[in-house]
Structure formats: structure tokens, C-alpha cells
Amino acid sequence: MAYFKYDAIIVGAGGAGLMAAIQMAGKANIAVVSKLYPTRSHTGAAQGGISAALGNVEEDHWQWHMFDTVKGGDYIVDQDAAEVLTRDAIDAVLELEHMGLPFNRLPDGRIDQRRFGGHTRNFGEAPVKRACYAADRTGHMILQTLYQQGIKHQVNFLDEFQMLDLLFSDDGRACGIVALEIRTGEIHTIHAKCVLLATGGFGRIFSVTSNAMAGTGDGFAIPFRRGVPLMDMEFYQFHPTGIYKFGILLSEAARGEGGILRNGLGEAFAERYAPTLKDLAPRDMVSRFIYQEIKEGRGVDGKDYVYLDLSHLPDELIDAKLPDITDFARTYLGIEPKTDPMPIQPTAHYAMGGIPTDLEGRVLRDASAATITGLYSAGENACVSVHGANRLGTNSLVDLVVFGRRAGRHMLDFVRHSDLPALPVDPEFLARAEVSDLLSRPKQEAMADVRRDLQVMMMDKASVVRSAESLTAAKAGLVELRSRYARAGIDDHGTTFNTDLMEAFELGAMLDCAEAVVEGALARQESRGAHYREDFPTRDDVNWLKHTMLRKTSGGLELTKKSVSITEFQPKERKY
């Protein structure tokens, strides 16, 4: 075991964490902690683009982007945050370019832009070309470019360290983390003036997901156990086009470039539901269109999937602009997308909810504006909230660059004016107790079976369509799964690279995330964005134009409401 001391610790080495690290590198003593090698982070799987109103291809304004973001999020987006997101997006994209990101270009050398779902000109008139992109591997290029900058600026990386606990001083300041060095099995205290949580999402709680196996929500569950609130956890996005059964993402860029969804009868059904934007309606809606088609028996061969059809697009366009996703279709489906349609189904993709923060990434203590000193969060882990009830495609990459940067800058200022808080007594006590329990308890059941049942239950009861009945069943199911988890054990009792132990720890985090999703979904008696309740099928602005804040207290879970920032755009019915 060792003791590390830094000015700031960043947990998570995806886009948000790296962007924050680059702001501080060379100016403060920092470390980036990741349970993976940084280049394995899930930012690298993002495909289609990063939006900014550059106006390179056609007229565009950040105010249009802001409107689309607010409307896309079904008006529960905090508009002060959406303004920052869309204004800063322009500068953020240029900064990425200056760092060397290989964007696709126009003939005159400027950055090319393309269409994406829900992004429109002049407040909803027609689709607009706003997404800057690097083929269909934009996230890969962002991750590579930011990691390269990390190397350039000599950032300290603690690779393959798993966060086990978050530490607070006796006066309530964040003061570090406890982490397990995966390679040696040693548990370390990492002491710092401030901590940024940027660990990505938790899509793995669902059985069909686009998320990496690392997406287990550790960065949600650990602070939640320590009394930090989670906001809007009921808003979970299902991306319409995951490869059937695999869940692997086929970018919305496929539809941005002209791809069409077809049901089992060959009909282009999106235009029936969204006459203006058709296949480029926001993701929550398109996922529900697909659900409806399947429910009414128009899935392919009566099964639970429909087609994404690119066969009418020119071969050169597919090769130049969609090379990776068409390669996925060939590899995993054995299908040639230039001639045949690809079977797809909605796939668990993105958490709109998360750790509530202000515009500088500071974590909120409760529904008031009070913050927890020294604790920051950014990216999918956080909820600013810029995505509201449904995130628009490309806005996740904007979010992590814009708010990762703001958090990093604020942290740099914070560490310059702040002392090092004292560690609590025996800081590793809880983490050691948990690890030792997981390592030693008898195996009455396999962890994998508990995990599988959790994933299937969440997909079945708490995904695209929900009701009081399904959610109550899920809540009861979670109680049962927790008791099974307490009886489940592992095979590997060693110290070196014990991934059996890691997976068991991650399952504990997944159970916490699932509980928060179900609790929020049960409370929110309306339908808004990605949260659709069969028993409350309409939006209810009178009672529910509010964020939910969920906290663990000694008396159990406590849910409160928090007001939404509305500056420019009054809530209206959402039509496309």
C-alpha cells in the first residue's frame, strides 16, 4: 500500500477527464486515475460528430443550437447551461482542431459539417449541417488527440487503478479517493485538495447496450453511497440503431447521410410519426417509433427488430464517411450494407442524469445552489443539466470538452487558493472491508448470474417504455437481486490482476445505479423525453417541470425536486 498526494485527482481518462487534466498540467500537481489505459475509455467509441454552430457549410447560430438542445431535452434542460454549451462549442471545436484533431474538410480546407438528429436551422424549420466529424470515429479522434496532449504536457497517469471509495474530511470537504492498483492488488490512499469524477456512464445495467464493459457506473455509485445526490436518473437514452442482439452502435450519422429506417413491410415509417425531420427526429422519439412498429407487428418477420437501410447511398459516400459502422455490419452481421439493410434495435446508450453540478463542474450538495467543497464532476458522469430528458446526438462530445475544460480551469484556481484538507481517520477502512468481504465470502451463487438477471430485468421493466406496474416489479426485483449479490462469491482469491474481484465490485455499483434509475422513474408520473410512462403518457409541466434529486440518507432514499433554469425558451409542445 502507498500514499499519494496531489493538488487534484481526476478519476476517469475519457474526454472530460483528459480535457480537465490538460488545463492543469504543468501548473498544478495532478494525477489522472483510470481503471483502464486511457485510450481504452469509452469516449473512443463515439462515432458521428461534435456539433458547433461554425456555419461552415450553411448558415447557423449558437442560439439555434441552444434552442435545439432545449427542445431536444423536452424543456427540462437548464437553459443557462445550454447557453454555455452551445456558445463554448464553437471555441471548443476550434481548440480540438488546433490540438491536431483530423476533422473531415471542405475543399477550401475548413472543417466539414453534416446533419444529425434534432439539429435544425431557424428554430426547427429544417435539418442543418452542424456536426463536425472525423469519418465515423469522431470520439476515437477526440480521445487520441486529448491523450496525445496529455503526453505532451506530461500528465501523471495512474493506469489500471480502480476507485473504491471517495474521501471527505471531517468538515465535509472532498479530500481524495481510495483506489486498488489492479496489477498488484494493493489498496492506496490518494490524497488531494480536490477530486473530479469523470468516469462515464452505466449502460451495462441493461442487457442490450452500446456501452463498453467498463461502463458500470462506479463514479455514480461511490459518491451516492457517501451521500452525494444524483439528479434526473430516470432519463436514460436508448439509441435507436444498435446492431440487433449485439447492441453495438450504428451512428446516427448513417441517417444524417441519408440512411432510412424500414419496417418489416419495407415502409419508411419515421415520416408517419415525424413529418418534418423524419428519420432525423431525436433519439427518444425514434426509439419509440421502432417500439411501436414492433408492437404493432411490423418488425422484420414479426420479430423485435427493424432495418437501417443504406443501400441507396453511393458506395463512395459510405466508404468515405461511414467506414467503421459499415465494417461493424460486415464483421458482426455478415451483411454488406451497400446492398443489404442492417437489422437494428434500440440499445441502452447514455445517462442524461448524474451527479448534479453548477456551470463550473462543482458538485451540488442538494436542491439549493450549495456546492460540496473540492468535489467536481463532468461528462456523462455529471448532470449540469444540458441534456435534460433526452440528449441530442453529438452533444455528449460537446459536453465533455466544454465542461471538462471549465471544471479543469476552476480546479486550477481552487488548488491555488486552497490548503490540503486532513484525511479522515482510517481512510481505507470501508474499502478494505468491502474488498476483503468480496474476496473471502463463500460462493453460493455466481456473480455473473446476478448481473445477467439485473440486466434482463432492467431492459424488460425500465427501458424505452415504463409503467407503475413494471417499475414496482423492478424495485422488488432489486431487493431480491441485492440479497443474491450478498450471497454471491468469486473464484479468484489472488492479488495479481484480479478481474474477478473487479467485476464483483462493479456489480455492486450497477445495483446502486439501477436503484436510482427505478426510484426516479417511479416518482416521475409523466412522460418526458426518454422517460415514457404508459400510465402517464403526456408531459405534465405543472407538476414535473422539475429535476429530481435523489439522496441516500440514514433513513433511506430521499427524493426532492429542483427547479429548472428557463431563460430564453418557454416550454412548448415538442413536435418534429
Partner 1 sequence: MDYVFRIKRYDPDVDVKPHFEEYTLDLAPTDRVLDGLNEIKWHHDGTLTYRRSCAHGVCGSDAMRINGRNYLACKTLMKEFGKKITLEPLVGFRVIKDLVVDMEDFFAGYRSIKPYLIAGEAPAGAERRQTPEELARYEGATKCILCAACTSSCPITWANETFVGPAAIVNAARFIYDSRDEGAAERLRILNTNTGVWRCRTVFNCTEACPRDIEVTNTIEDVKRTLLLEQV
- Give catalytic residues, as residue numbers: 283
Is position 102 an interface residue for partner 1 (rule: CB under 8 A)?
Answer: yes
**Between residue 166 and residue 195, which ones bind partner 1 under the rule CB under 8 A?**
183
Distance of CA 2 to the CA centre of its chain: 32
What would the grid cell of residue 90 be? Answer: 464553437
Contacts of 450 by beta carbon, 8 Å cutoff, 6+ apart? 481, 484, 485, 488, 507
**Whole-number Cα distances in Å, 327 to 48, 210, 280, 341, 345:** 15, 16, 23, 14, 18
Q: Please identify which residue in 104, 156, 169, 311 interacts with partner 1, judged by CB under 8 A.
A: 104
Rounded to the nearest whole angstrom, what is the least distance from the CB of residue 235 to partner 1 in the complex? Answer: 24
- If one asks whether residue 273 binds partner 1 (CB under 8 A), the answer comes out as no
> Does residue 212 bind partner 1 (CB under 8 A)?
yes
Contact region for partner 1 (CB under 8 A) — 40-48, 303-311, 393-401, 461-469? 40-48
According to the binding rule CB under 8 A, does residue 137 interact with partner 1?
A: yes
Nearest approach in angstroms of CB 479 to partner 1 is 23
> Contact with partner 1 (CB under 8 A): which of 271, 366, 453, 500?
500
Q: Which of 3, 27, 37, 568 lies at the binding interface for partner 1 (CB under 8 A)?
A: 37
Cα radius of gyration rounded to whole Å, the chain: 22
In 3D space, the residue among 512, 513, 523 whose CA is nearest the CA of residue 472 turns out to be 523
- Beta carbon of residue 381, minimum distance to partner 1 (angstroms, whole number): 17
- The residue with cell 478519476 is 11
Strand pairing category for 3-11 and 30-34: parallel
| Number of residues binding to partner 1, judged by CB under 8 A | 57
| Contact flag: residue 330 with partner 1 (CB under 8 A) | no
- Residue range at the interface with partner 1 (CB under 8 A); choices 109-117, 252-260, 353-361, 472-480: 109-117
Q: Which is nearer to partner 1, 397 or 564 (CB)?
A: 397
Residues whose CB falls within 8 Å of the CB of residue 94, separated by 6 or more in sequence, listed in order: none
- Window of 2-10, 225-233, 260-268, 331-339 that interacts with partner 1 by CB under 8 A: 331-339
Residue 496 within binding range of partner 1, rule CB under 8 A:
yes
Cell numbers that stand for 223 in this block: 459518491
**Binding of residue 507 to partner 1 (CB under 8 A):** no
Residue 29 cell numbers, joined = 500537481
Q: Which one of 10, 32, 41, 51 is in contact with partner 1 (CB under 8 A)?
A: 41
User: Per rule CB under 8 A, is residue 149 in the interface with partner 1?
Assistant: yes
The distance of closest approach from Cβ of residue 123 to partner 1 in the complex, given in angstroms and rounded to an integer, is 25
Q: Does 290 bind partner 1 (CB under 8 A)?
A: no
**C-alpha of 236 from chain center:** 9
Supply the minimum distance, in Å, between the C-beta of residue 388 and partner 1: 27
When the beta carbons of 176 and 247 are compared against partner 1, the nearer one is: 247
Cα 256 from Cα 242, distance rounded (Å): 16
Which residue spans within 244-341 are E strands per DSSP? 260-262, 306-309
Determine if 442 is a binding residue for partner 1 (CB under 8 A): no
The CA–CA distances, whole Å, from 151 to 23, 25, 39, 192 equal: 13, 10, 12, 22
Contacts of 185 (CB under 8 A, 6+ apart): 494, 495, 496, 497, 498, 501
Distance of alpha carbon 421 from alpha carbon 419, whole angstroms: 6
**Is residue 497 near partner 1 by the rule CB under 8 A?**
yes
**105 lies in the site for partner 1, by CB under 8 A:** yes
Whole-angstrom distance, CA of residue 360 vs CA of residue 367:
17
Q: Can you tell me the distance from the alpha carbon of 137 to that of 56, in angstroms, rounded to the nearest whole number?
A: 20
Binding site for partner 1 (CB under 8 A): 36-37, 39-42, 44-45, 94, 97-100, 102-111, 134-135, 137, 140-141, 144, 148-149, 151-152, 183, 212-214, 246, 248, 324, 328, 331-332, 334, 446-448, 490-492, 494-500
